[in-house]
A and B are shown apart, each in its own frame.
Chain A
Amino acid sequence: MKRCVHVVAAMAAIMLSASAAGAQEKLKIGLIVTLSGPSAVLGGQARDGFNLAVKTLGGKLGGVDTEVIVVDDELKPDVAVTKVKGLIDRDQVNFVVGPIFSNVLQAIHKPVTDSNAILISPNAGTSNFAGKQCNSNFFVTSYQNDQVHAVLGKYAQDKGFKRVFLMAPNYQAGKDALAGFKSMFKGDVVEEVYTPLGQLDFSAELAKIAAAKPDAFFTFMPGGMGVNLVKQYRQAGLVNIPFLSAFTTDESTLPAQKDDAVGFLAGSNWAPNTDNPQNKAFVAAYEATYNAVPGTFAMQAYDAALLIDSALKATGGKTSDREVLKAALKKADFQSLRGKFKFGVNQYPVQDFFLVRAAKRADGKYQTEIVEKVFTDAVDPYAAECTMK
């Protein structure tokens, strides 16, 4: 019995110490991103971008001392749910910023929006939360996923491509990608190929493309799959077929793709060479601090911090009145790195989209650069379904 008491006492002690930091003096922000596995680089960019913003603002958002608690969702939805509960209950955060991936967003959306915290996604922007399930506690600083794909569909349409070959991994985001492309492209789709998730070798598909001789090729191959595809695409001698893609040639993969990706086209809401003073300062500071070229993941997380900063300035640093806080957030009264930025009814951004091209810079590093504007003040296609006022 004595031992029982000891065990219980010890457990109680652990829990008490874990929850000791209950008092609420400073602003607490939980940052939940993927920091393990092959996709860790994306979460790392978001973390670095967010931290850089807090550092640039002198460790304060809206004039309040800010503590950022970084957790890794491990790209496992059930782990992510436990971790956000920890952020909300144990750490009592005011904001949860994250995640990177759609499936994690689906899992953590309800626990966070049901709580006292506000969820700000710096990347994942699924269609369901943009439309019928829009929620006043949920803000997105990136885009609705389909929009980036639509940029390339529009470009292919405007360019007069007649026959396009499509390829994506066989999962939800892949299907959405091709649907997004086709929403703007009215020409002939030669073939739609879905590859198993995590496929390494694309030689079978590349042979099909070579045989089909399309006017252009559109794909969505995030992460390592994209690195492999781009290298193999060039090696297969297909470069005279225009390579259009989303999340395939960006700053997270260019360091590995290098010259193989140069000249390939993609869609984006921003590029490191976006021409405005605060963006120039951001890119320079990011490169100096983390020795890497920032991508959209870093930019959108940086903007998320600016968004929180602007709202707290408006409320005088108070988070207690949620309606006031949400109204202040919705105003989006900050200077976004991408230039223009405002929220639509569903609290997803209304913004411009560009065609970007991968390029090698004079200093030998690689980045995407803006070619032309494709959409102006684009509202995502699901916003109309959102009944929020």
Chain B
Amino acid sequence: MRDAQTEVTRALLQPPRTPALLMFVALVLVPLAARFGAESFILSVFTRTIIFAIAALSLDLILGYGALVSFGHAAFMGIGSYAVGILATHGVDEILLQMLVAMLAAIVFAVATSAVSLRASGVYYIMSTLAFGQMLYFFAVSLSAYGGDDGLTLSGRSRLLGTHILANDRAFYYVALALLAGFYLLAQRITASRFGRVLRGIRENPVRMRAIGFEPFRYQLTACALAGAVCAISGVLLANLAEFVSPAYMTWQRSGELLAMVILGGMGTLWGAILGAIAFLLLEEVLSGLTEQWRLILGPILILVALGGRGGLAGLYARLRRRTGGGAP
């Protein structure tokens, strides 16, 4: 048992280029395939998927590599989307500027809340992130100047360098995809760097890391700020996709869904988080098309994945590879 698990872990730690590459190639081809169908709908489904993949990826950074289970990660999506909504109402519709503000706000929020949360550990950490997420949610609900609970309709998508290119669904899709790819590569770099190794070391044994001179708090705080900033970008994109901003983007259920995506895909692999987001959202899309009672199917699927799948879809892939005799790519 133990053996199998270490083996899986080892397989997971190998750079899994093939599945990630396949995934990105498939995503690049989506708009081409979409031309044969209901283009704008398919693009909207997949753009939404990519946006959640970015959020899941950012969560995996702290969850998979730092073992920091954040149950308030959707708050950062909310920060990103409100950055768009609030700036747009005041006439600032340049997306680069909106992203900058979103990231700064996310970093401030992440640092302020993590400074408290990181004092606690385990379940206490989980619950304190939840508490901060809820605070932000209630704050947004009471923001009556920006629509309160009703949310805020945007007059259109943001501008990119002064152009209206994002209004084109295909262009918007590729911008989102490029951001996902960029963040994926960045996250790979980070997790492979000294910083990433220290973070993993802290996950395995914080006492030892402290003994050899690494103060866990500083590293964890940096990771949280980084993950928050990346997640805020997904919020900026979500607001632009829906052309609407709402407190509903940061309910605790949303945070739970993000966790479910990462676990479903297999945490600590980065590409697993992306795959998890794709699988979760497409599963929802397909099941809800089949029957109104689709939750009766989705629930048990999640339970089965939790019961059976050690390491989620990425773990499954690693086991399959091992069984078919394929070594490291």
A and B touch in the complex (CB under 8 A): yes
Question: How far is B37's CA from A12's CA once the two chains are assembled, in angstroms?
Answer: 9
Contact A76–B248 (Cβ < 8 Å): yes
In the complex, A211 has a CB within 8 A of chain B = no
Contact B150–A78 (Cβ < 8 Å): no
Contact B41–A86 (Cβ < 8 Å): yes
Question: How far is B137's CA from A170's CA once the two chains are assembled, in angstroms?
Answer: 13
* Cβ-neighbour of B141 out of A70, A71, A92, A197 (below 8 A): A197
Identity of the chain A residue whose Cβ is nearest the Cβ of B47 in the assembled complex:
A82
- Segment among B27-35, B98-106, B172-180 that sits at the interface with chain A: B27-35
B32-44 contact mask (Cβ, 8 Å, vs A): 1 or 0:
0110111111101
Identity of the chain B residue whose Cβ is nearest the Cβ of A176 in the assembled complex:
B150
Question: How far is B36's CA from A172's CA once the two chains are assembled, in angstroms?
Answer: 42
Question: How far is B39's CA from A106's CA once the two chains are assembled, in angstroms?
Answer: 23
Question: How far is B144's CA from A88's CA once the two chains are assembled, in angstroms?
Answer: 32
Residues of B within 8 A of A81 (CB): 44, 241-244
Residues of B within 8 A of A126 (CB): 150
Question: How far is B243's CA from A82's CA once the two chains are assembled, in angstroms?
Answer: 11
Known: A107-B242, A172-B150. A85 touches B22 (CB 8 A): no
A157-176 contact mask (Cβ, 8 Å, vs B): 1 or 0:
00000000000001111010
Known: A82-B48, A106-B244. A89 touches B38 (CB 8 A): yes
Residues of A within 8 A of B243 (CB): 81, 110-111
In the complex, A15 has a CB within 8 A of chain B = yes
Identity of the chain A residue whose Cβ is nearest the Cβ of B23 in the assembled complex:
A7
Interface residues in B234-257 (C-beta closer than 8 Å to A): 238, 241-244, 246, 248-249
In the complex, B127 has a CB within 8 A of chain A = no
Q: Closest CB-CB distance, A299 to chain B, in whole Å?
A: 22
In the complex, A196 has a CB within 8 A of chain B = yes
Which of B37, B150, B153 has most chain A Cβ within 10 Å?
Answer: B150
With an 8 Å Cβ cutoff, the count of chain A residues facing the other chain is: 43
Q: Closest CB-CB distance, A18 to chain B, in whole Å?
A: 6
* Cβ-neighbour of B36 out of A16, A88, A103 (below 8 A): A16
Identity of the chain A residue whose Cβ is nearest the Cβ of B147 in the assembled complex:
A172
Residues of A within 8 A of B292 (CB): 35, 70, 72
Residues of B within 8 A of A173 (CB): 149-150
Contact B142–A170 (Cβ < 8 Å): yes
Known: A82-B48, A103-B149, A172-B148. A89 touches B244 (CB 8 A): no
In the complex, A203 has a CB within 8 A of chain B = no
Q: Closest CB-CB distance, B96 to chain A, in whole Å?
A: 23
In the complex, B151 has a CB within 8 A of chain A = yes
In the complex, B295 has a CB within 8 A of chain A = yes
Residues of A within 8 A of B148 (CB): 171-172, 175
In the complex, B138 has a CB within 8 A of chain A = yes
Known: A78-B241, A110-B243. A85 touches B40 (CB 8 A): yes
In the complex, A376 has a CB within 8 A of chain B = no
In the complex, A36 has a CB within 8 A of chain B = yes
Interface residues in B8-57 (C-beta closer than 8 Å to A): 22, 25-26, 29-30, 33-34, 36-42, 44-45, 48
Interface residues in A81-107 (C-beta closer than 8 Å to B): 81-82, 85-86, 88-92, 102-103, 106-107
* Cβ-neighbour of A110 out of B34, B36, B153 (below 8 A): B153
Identity of the chain A residue whose Cβ is nearest the Cβ of B288 in the assembled complex:
A72
With an 8 Å Cβ cutoff, the count of chain B residues facing the other chain is: 39
Question: How far is B152's CA from A103's CA once the two chains are assembled, in angstroms?
Answer: 9
Contact B22–A77 (Cβ < 8 Å): no
Question: How far is B3's CA from A122's CA once the two chains are assembled, in angstroms?
Answer: 60
Identity of the chain B residue whose Cβ is nearest the Cβ of A12 in the assembled complex:
B33
Question: How far is B248's CA from A172's CA once the two chains are assembled, in angstroms?
Answer: 14
A1-35 contact mask (Cβ, 8 Å, vs B): 1 or 0:
00110011001100110110000000000000001
Contact A77–B246 (Cβ < 8 Å): yes
Question: How far is B186's CA from A297's CA once the two chains are assembled, in angstroms?
Answer: 51
Question: How far is B248's CA from A247's CA once the two chains are assembled, in angstroms?
Answer: 22
Question: How far is B48's CA from A77's CA once the two chains are assembled, in angstroms?
Answer: 13
Question: How far is B284's CA from A72's CA once the two chains are assembled, in angstroms?
Answer: 12
In the complex, A75 has a CB within 8 A of chain B = yes
Q: Closest CB-CB distance, B66 to chain A, in whole Å?
A: 28
Contact B248–A75 (Cβ < 8 Å): yes
Known: A8-B26, A11-B26, A172-B148. A90 touches B248 (CB 8 A): no
Q: Closest CB-CB distance, A375 to chain B, in whole Å?
A: 25
Q: Closest CB-CB distance, A113 to chain B, in whole Å?
A: 12
Contact B22–A7 (Cβ < 8 Å): yes
Q: Closest CB-CB distance, B114 to chain A, in whole Å?
A: 26
Contact A78–B26 (Cβ < 8 Å): no
Which of A81, A107, A111 has most chain B Cβ within 10 Å?
Answer: A107
Contact B45–A86 (Cβ < 8 Å): yes
Contact B151–A90 (Cβ < 8 Å): no
Residues of A within 8 A of B246 (CB): 77-78, 103, 107
Identity of the chain B residue whose Cβ is nearest the Cβ of A107 in the assembled complex:
B244
Residues of B within 8 A of A110 (CB): 153, 243
Contact B150–A88 (Cβ < 8 Å): no
Q: Closest CB-CB distance, B58 to chain A, in whole Å?
A: 18
Contact B45–A4 (Cβ < 8 Å): no
In the complex, A109 has a CB within 8 A of chain B = yes
Known: A15-B42, A89-B38, A175-B144. A106 touches B149 (CB 8 A): no
Residues of B within 8 A of A16 (CB): 36-37
* Cβ-neighbour of A107 out of B22, B44, B149, B153 (below 8 A): B153
Residues of B within 8 A of A35 (CB): 292
Interface residues in A173-213 (C-beta closer than 8 Å to B): 173, 175, 196-197
Residues of A within 8 A of B29 (CB): 8, 11
Q: Closest CB-CB distance, B57 to chain A, in whole Å?
A: 19
Contact A36–B295 (Cβ < 8 Å): yes
B interface residues (Cβ-Cβ under 8 A, vs A): 22, 25-26, 29-30, 33-34, 36-42, 44-45, 48, 138, 141-142, 144, 147-153, 238, 241-244, 246, 248-249, 288, 292, 295
Provide 9 A-B residue pairs closer than 8 Å at the C-beta atoms, listed in order of the A residue: A16-B36, A18-B37, A70-B292, A77-B242, A81-B243, A88-B40, A110-B153, A171-B148, A172-B150
| Nearest 7 A/B pairs, CB to CB | A171-B149, A19-B37, A89-B38, A89-B41, A90-B38, A172-B150, A15-B37
A interface residues (Cβ-Cβ under 8 A, vs B): 3-4, 7-8, 11-12, 15-16, 18-19, 35-36, 70-72, 75-78, 81-82, 85-86, 88-92, 102-103, 106-107, 109-111, 126, 170-173, 175, 196-197
11 other A-B residue contacts (CB within 8 Å) besides A90-B38, A197-B149:
A12-B36, A18-B37, A19-B38, A77-B248, A78-B249, A81-B243, A82-B44, A85-B41, A107-B151, A107-B153, A111-B243
